[in-house]
Structure 1
Amino acid sequence: MSRLIIFPIALLAAACASEPPVSTNELAYVEKPTETSFWFSDEPEVQPAPLQYDITKAGLAPKSHVNILAEKVVNELVLQNDSLRSDQPLLVTTPVNTSDYSKTDALGLQLQQGFVAAFHSHEFNLVDLNVANALRSTEQGEFILSRDWKLLPSDLPVSHVVVSTMDTTPMGLVLNARIVNVTNNRVVSAVQTFVNMNSLPGYLSPSNQVIFQDGLLFRHEASGQGNAVVLGAKL
């Protein structure tokens, strides 16, 4: 006769609690992903050569965590899209702070460039607002990009724009992005995501013990208790 052995729940919980927590990085590349295939064939499967990033050889440009974040956000925007066609003109605006739509930072500026590259990889019809009407040749170089509205075209045939907002918490970054039809302000796609501070090295860092906010100095009991700081941002 077989015997049924029942372990006390308390012992099982204690065993699980003794295991150390597993640290994960949701933006890291998986070098050897698990492949699942339902195709059966007598011929041996040919494995593709692994993709290597080597700056000394020809190949794809190396990517960092901020580039991967931009790709993941755009991938979901494309997935959630319910009406925008890839042949319709699309303009990507700069991500702004949630509390102030007229301010951004170094991370927002870089994410905007990443969104443009990611949407182009999906073969969307992108429009670059910052291309000036004329090329400027100076002693420092030749320039055509500008943020001066007087040098930019004013009649771009754009009906859809990508808008996004950012906010920091003590743990990381909250990012919301959406595609809006500017003819009727209808949202055709929307994404929200949270990124741990450790996943964006070089862009986010823990707050200091003493911070300057709204013209006042605040002192926390320890560093890292305030919202994460975007490196390069103006305080």
Structure 2
Amino acid sequence: MNTRVIQRNLLMQKFTVVTIILFLGACARQPADLSFNNQGHVVNPNNTEPVAKLKLSYDINEAGLSPKGQVNVLAEKLVNELVVHNDALRADQPLLVTTPVMLNSFDNTNDLGLQLQQGMIAAFHAHEFNLVDMNVAESLRSTQQGEFILSRDWQHLPSDLPVSHVVVSSMSFTPEGLVVNARVVDVSNNRVVSAAQSFASNVTLSGYLVPSNKIISRDGVLYRHETEGKESLGVRK
């Protein structure tokens, strides 16, 4: 065998050995780590296992809900009772929640009534009723203090709303607490399609209600009691 043939065979053997070494090295080498953290969960794109379908769940204790005051709980109880006693209003009919007024004066309300109205709107929406907000103005107002679209000026509000039913409420105070009466009325014939009433003690609404003073004025005459809270409660300023 001549020298050239021997050299060629040696080169072929070296090439084969190098190829085998490279192949084994490629097989032994692990793929690049491309995993990343997605909201606390490690995601590995190199994982070829089938993706497990996680069941969606919502844990109130873990996720938490917005804290609610007792006035909002009172609003929810009223709305729940109105929904139970409803005999005509459908969930797709427009519904408007008006501001609760004082029983002895339908032209007056207070901070408690205003907040109770907002709570009832949220509670009715939770029951998937078709709510209409009459306080949304027809145009946005941009001022130095911010951008506003809510208004109680009738000149800025739409004149005709597609409302078929309204929620009306009245409040009265006693020395022990607050009495609320609410009803849903069909505005086409003033028929009451649902009614509810509730009571909240002054302790549960201490953030809004205050006991009467020892000395009070009624009809221009001063009355003095031995202790506070003998007369009807008042609204905290």
Normalised by the size of structure 1, how large is the TM-score? 0.73
Aligned to 2:60: 51
- The alignment covers a number of residue pairs equal to 181
Q: Which letter maps to 1:179? A: V
Residues 103-182 of structure 1: pairs in structure 2 closer than 5 A:
103-182=108-187
Aligned to 1:183: 188
Partners of 2:143 and 2:93 lie apart in 1 by: 35
Aligned to 1:72: 77
Does residue 93 of structure 1 match 2:102? Answer: no
Normalised by the size of structure 2, how large is the TM-score? 0.73
Show CA shifts across 1:173-212 (max 9, x none).
Answer: 0100000001000000000111111111201121111123
Q: Which letter maps to 2:228? A: S
Percent of aligned pairs sharing the same letter: 64
Aligned to 2:228: 223
Partners of 1:179 and 1:86 lie apart in 2 by: 13
Q: Which letter maps to 1:51? A: I
Partners of 2:108 and 2:166 lie apart in 1 by: 18
Partners of 1:203 and 1:68 lie apart in 2 by: 14
Q: Which letter maps to 1:153? A: P
Q: Which consecutive unaligned segments of at least 5 residues does structure 2 have?
A: 1-56
SS state of the match for residue 107, structure 1? helix
Question: What's the offset of the Cα at 1:214?
Answer: 4.4
Partners of 1:230 and 1:50 lie apart in 2 by: 37
Q: 1:213–1:110: structure 2 CA closer, same or farther, 3 Å change rule?
A: farther
Does residue 63 of structure 1 match 2:68? Answer: yes
Q: Which letter maps to 1:190? A: A
RMSD: 1.7
Aligned to 2:209: 204
Partners of 1:49 and 1:137 lie apart in 2 by: 39
Q: Which consecutive unaligned segments of at least 5 residues does structure 1 have?
A: 1-47
Partners of 1:122 and 1:215 lie apart in 2 by: 47
Show CA shifts across 1:30-76 (max 9, x none).
Answer: xxxxxxxxxxxxxxxxxx986338xxxx5421111111110011000
Question: What's the offset of the Cα at 1:228?
Answer: 1.0
Q: Which letter maps to 1:146? A: S
Structure 1 runs (4+) greater than 6 angstroms displaced: none
Q: Which letter maps to 2:82? A: L
SS state of the match for residue 116, structure 1? helix
Question: What's the offset of the Cα at 1:229?
Answer: 1.3
